[in-house]
Amino acid sequence: MFSKSDTDVDQTGSARRSGHQPEMANAPPSEVDLAYARAVAADALGRGSKDSSIPWENPHTGAGGNITPLAVAYGAGTSTCRDFLASYVRGEAQAWLQGEACRTEHGKWEVKSLKPLKQG
């Protein structure tokens, strides 16, 4: 009833569905993980250092990475801001994020944006 080629197609299709590449590898970072990264970024930028990475980790999910300030502070309207990079690793998932943080009127740093790094 089945030809050899039909059987081969079914076997190949089954192998693809089970796959070796986990779905998480392409999933964006969770909001909970990003909250941990934002907190460390605000702290790292408040220290005023540049060109040094500060590690971050969410102990509940195992996600982590590094926060790296990119440049000295710059003026953005009436605010003082800094850009930074954040690496994200969770299992086999890896991503680079770009962020911007600005100093609040109370002197603390607040992350204004943290999104996937635009490459190109």
pTM: 0.71
Is the pLDDT assigned to residue 119 strictly greater than 50?
yes
In a domain, 95, yes or no: yes
Domain count, the chain: 1
Look up the domain containing 60 and give its range: 23-116
The closest alpha carbon to 41, from 104, 115, 99, 107, belongs to: 99
Read off the pLDDT of residues 11-68 as tens digits, 9 standing for 90 and up. Answer: 444 443 334 444 444 567 899 999 999 999 998 887 766 667 899 999 999 999 999 9
114 class by beta-carbon count within 10 Å (0-12 exposed, 13-18 middle, 19+ buried): buried
Tokens standing for 101? 């943080």
